[in-house]
Chains A and B, each alone.
Chain A
Amino acid sequence: MTFLEALSAGFIMVAQWESIFFLAIGVTIGVVAGAIPGMSATMAVALTLPFTFALQPIFGILLLLGVYKGGIFGGSIPAILIKTPGTPASSATALDGYPMAEQGRAGEALSMSLYASCIADLISNLALIVFAAWLASFALNFGPPEMFTLIVFSLTIIAGVSGDSLVKGIVAASLGLLLATVGLDLIAGSERLTFGSVDMRGGLNFIAVLIGLFALPEIIAYMRKSASADHRVRGMGYSKLKMVDFRRSLKSIFRGSAIGVFLGAIPGIGAAPSAFLSYSEARRASPNRDNFGKGEVEGVAAAEAGNNGVAGATLIPLLSLGIPGDVITAIIIGAFMVHNLTPGPLLFVNNADLVYALFIGLIASSFLLLIIGSVAIRAFRYIADVPSNLLFPGVLVLCIYGVYAVNNSIFDVAVMLVMGVVGYIMLILRFPAAPFLIGFILGPMLENNFRQALLMSRGDLSIFARGPITILFLCMTVISVVLIIRSTVKAARLKRELGAYGEKSAPQGPKT
């Protein structure tokens, strides 16, 4: 299928009312979920996933991508109005957004946030269209050794999603990798860690594991505390975004979009570092740098552009290499798997029409976000008022139905419940859940490619350095690991110095 044929076939796929309908529904769900304090875009995507089973692949995946896009923007609404970022990446938006809301300029901040999000999202989607096909055609030459070294490099993304402790991130990823080995061994055909259970011979269901990990711990944490936070919602104010402010922020929006695209295309970095980098670059370059942190509209624009700039770019490694760019795209892999589609270079060969349909749908999602986002901004007061004690039990019911529907299996519900408890223990002991999921997804790919490569070479390990591609990935892995160790040591030293300073400056009171 030539490029033009694929593009026209993709256009035909999208040019159905259902495509736009499901995309709009997805964006709406995402914006609403992102705007509800306590919900997150990740949880929204995970909970929507089971509802896509009944849909055609294109509709189901567009629905999830809509949730993803909407969720990222939705997180900025509570960040501005109640200083409670809906997503970690929205924290940068709160730096200037909330002071603006305090000054009665919430409407201005929210409008800027929406416009910056839509522009950055559009740029990110265009980058996806330009780079994904090119990268996929390059990746078509990859054999098992290349894939293995690529996945080893991708595993360094764990550092980016490990939060405070890299060691705990590695433990979580190892647990995910271990859980991924459950089932029948592909080469020997023998049972691995099935504990004699027939249900476990096919391995653990991906969706049960991910919903258990990402949705249930929040429910358990809420039920334990059982007290809804007192959110003070700021009014919208009467100020409107002025054209002159928008125009002077455009440079920061484009810069933030470029940062988002670059960081988003590298697996594991995610939206939060991109938003903060974009914000700090805008502050460095802006003539109004002294206003940053006190209610500068350009700060909101930069943070949101950096935040949304990653949304399309994280799909570049997903679609072209089959490697998730962040946690949400890791969940979206599930949607592909449910519909018997395998993200990666072959997707561009076997399902080129679907890929181009997704591209066109993503462009449409930027415009839908503009429309739905402007309505959501006005409706936020009602969205934020959903009582948590009605919301979280509803989430549990959704989880039960959704997980059961994957395989019509009550065993999967049990897996979800157990993973929920595991996820909650990880939450309170500060083990990040994202590396667990990434390990669980990449584990089988890593092991299979390693073993296939060794079968090809009859046990000769030098196959992993057989050509420039494997050597490039190995070098990138080494560089990445060195950088991670350096930054971890630096952070530990800083923490130690701060601790020593804290001990010196702490008042020496009597011990009680």
Chain B
Amino acid sequence: MLSRRDEFLTGLCVMALGALVLWWIIPTYITTPRRVPILALSPAFWPRIIAWTILGCGLILVLRAALAPAPPDAVADDLSVSRPEGLRLLALGAILIGIFFALPVVGMVWVCMIAYALMVLLSGGKNLGWGMIIAILLPLLLYLFFTKVAGVAIPQGQIVRLP
């Protein structure tokens, strides 16, 4: 359960999302034919209904947060992020973004090996020896399975190619 303030802000964000979809994303990114014989057959019909639902639910969340009694502090979830947690999240974000951009260049096997090892280090480096062994073996075994058994062309990258 979130605190009243967090719940209120969440409701506002949901409303903002609904409004954004309704008045910017749908008009800009949905191409509707000039003449639609039945309104419900327009490509924008469903997205509009959904966006209105999101907007309405956001409003309910805001009103509920404003009118309902606040949960006791002991029950409410704390959304604050400590400095080490924030740093770990940032590092993980960098790893995830790095994975996406490195996949076509470095290849899936090597990227996964590096990502695994980095994540083991990021989570405190316990069982480091086992971690490094698994970091090498797991992507290789998966590569063998998908390439040789499933017939999937795993991206090899442009640096070191596997047989």
Contact = CB atoms under 8 A, between A and B. Distances in A.
B46 interface: yes
A192 B43 contact: yes
Interface string A413-439: 110010011000000111000000000
A389 B131 contact: yes
Contacts, number: 196
B159 interface: no
Contact of B51 (A178, A188, A404): A178
B50 interface: yes
A192 B32 CA distance: 9
Contacts of A290: none
Interface size class of B (residues with CB under 8 A): 35 or more
A248 B6 CA distance: 50
Contacts of B33: 188, 190
Contacts of A502: 72
Contacts of A405: 146, 150, 152
Contacts of B58: 171
B43 A389 contact: no
A174 B47 contact: no
Interface string A389-413: 1101110111011001100101001
Given A193-B47, A394-B138, A408 B131 contact: no
Nearest to B104: A410
A457 to B, nearest CB: 9
B69 A389 contact: no
Contacts of B138: 394, 397
A390 B127 contact: yes
Interface string B1-39: 110001000100010000001000100011111001110
A222, A401, A410, A421 — which one has the most chain B CB atoms within 10 A of its CB? A401
A389 B154 contact: no
A262 B42 CA distance: 40
A500 B70 CA distance: 10
B1 A164 contact: yes
B85 A413 contact: no
A503 B68 CA distance: 13
A408 B88 contact: no
B53 A174 contact: yes
Contacts of A495: 68
Interface stretch (A302-310, A320-328, A447-455): A447-455
B57 interface: yes
A394 B116 contact: yes
Contact of A185 (B21, B25, B43): B43
B122 to A, nearest CB: 6
Given A54-B151, A226-B122, A420 B96 contact: yes
A414 B138 CA distance: 21
Contacts of A454: 38, 40-41
Contact of B57 (A51, A174, A188, A194): A174
A171 to B, nearest CB: 5
Nearest to B152: A405
A174 B60 CA distance: 15
Nearest to B53: A174
A468 interface: no
B1 A430 contact: yes
Interface in B108-125: 108, 111-112, 115-116, 119-120, 122-124
21 contacts: A167-B61, A167-B64, A171-B14, A178-B21, A188-B31, A223-B89, A226-B88, A390-B120, A397-B139, A400-B108, A400-B115, A401-B108, A410-B104, A413-B100, A414-B100, A429-B2, A429-B10, A454-B40, A459-B38, A496-B68, A506-B72
Interface of A: 51, 53-54, 164, 167-168, 170-171, 174-175, 177-178, 181, 185, 187-188, 190-195, 220, 222-226, 387-390, 392-394, 396-398, 400-401, 404-405, 408, 410, 413-414, 417, 420-421, 428-430, 447, 450-451, 454-455, 458-459, 492, 495-496, 499-500, 502-503, 506
Interface of B: 1-2, 6, 10, 14, 21, 25, 29-33, 36-38, 40-44, 46-47, 50-51, 53-54, 57-58, 60-61, 64, 68-72, 77, 79, 81, 85, 88-89, 92-93, 96-97, 99-100, 103-104, 108, 111-112, 115-116, 119-120, 122-124, 126-127, 130-131, 134-135, 138-139, 142-143, 145-146, 149-155
Closest 3 CB pairs of A and B: A54-B150, A393-B119, A190-B31
